Structure 1
Amino acid sequence: MSSQKTEAVTNRIFTIPNVISFIRLCMVPVYMVLLLNGYDLLATFMFALAAGTDWIDGQLARRTNCVSKLGQLLDPAVDRILMSCGVIGLMLVGRLPIWIVVVVLGRDLMLLVGGAYLLKRYHERVAVIYPGKVATTFLFVGFAGLLLNMPLIGGLGWFEASWLPGFGSEACSWGIWFVYAGLLLGLFTTLYYVLAGYRKMQKARRLEAKGRVR
Structure 2
Amino acid sequence: MSSQAPRERTRTAAPSERVWTVPNAISGVRLLLVPVFAVLIFTGRDVAAIVVLVVAGASDWLDGVIARRFDQTSRVGQLLDPAADRLYIFVTLIGLGWREVVPWWLVLVIAARDVFLAGMIPTLSRHGYGPLPVHLAGKAGTFALMYSFPLLLLAGRPGTLGDVASTVGWASALWGVGLYWFAALLYLEQVVRIVREDRAA
TM over 0.5: yes
**What root-mean-square deviation, in Å, do the aligned CA atoms of Structure 1 and Structure 2 show?**
2.3
Query: Where in structure 1 are there 5+ consecutive unaligned residues?
Result: 155-170, 208-214
Q: CA 1:130/1:8 → structure 2, altered by over 3 Å: closer, same or farther?
A: closer
Which of 40, 52, 56 is equivalent to 1:50? Answer: 56
Q: Could you report, residue by residue, the CA deviation over 1:132-176 in whole angstroms, capped at 9, with x for unpaired residues?
A: 22111111111121123352228xxxxxxxxxxxxxxxx945311
Look up the match of 2:68.
Answer: 62
**Contact (CA 8 Å) 1:28, 1:47: kept in 2 or not?**
no
Query: 2:125 matched to 1:120?
Result: yes
The equivalent position to 1:188 in structure 2, one of 179, 182, 200, is 182
In the TM superposition, what whole-angstrom CA distance separates every residue of 1:159-214 from its partner, at most 9, and x where no partner exists?
xxxxxxxxxxxx9453111101111222322222212211211111222xxxxxxx
What code does the residue aligned with 1:153 have? Answer: D
SS in 2 for 1:111: helix
1:199 to 188, 193, 196: 193
Structure 1 position 35 matched with structure 2 position 45: no
Q: Which amino acid aligns with 1:49?
A: V
- Gaps of at least 5 residues in structure 2 are 1-9
Counterpart AA for 2:108: V
Q: Check if 1:21 corresponds to 2:27.
A: yes
1:127 shift after superposition:
4.0
In structure 2, relative to structure 1, the CA distance for the partners of 1:43 and 1:9 (3 Å cut) is same
Q: Distance in 2 between matches of 1:9 and 1:127?
A: 11
Equivalent-residue separation in structure 2 for 1:102 and 1:5 (angstroms): 36
**How far did 1:83 drift?**
1.6
* C-alpha deviation, 1:119, in angstroms: 2.8
Matched, 1:174 2:179: no
Q: TM-score, normalised by structure 1?
A: 0.78
Bigger radius of gyration: 1
Q: How many residue pairs are counted as aligned between the two chains?
A: 187
Normalising by structure 2, report the TM-score.
0.83
Considering fraction of residues, name the structure with more helix: 2
Among all aligned residue pairs of Structure 1 and Structure 2, give the percentage whose two residues are the same amino acid: 35
**Contact 2:19/2:74 (CA < 8 Å) preserved in 1?**
yes
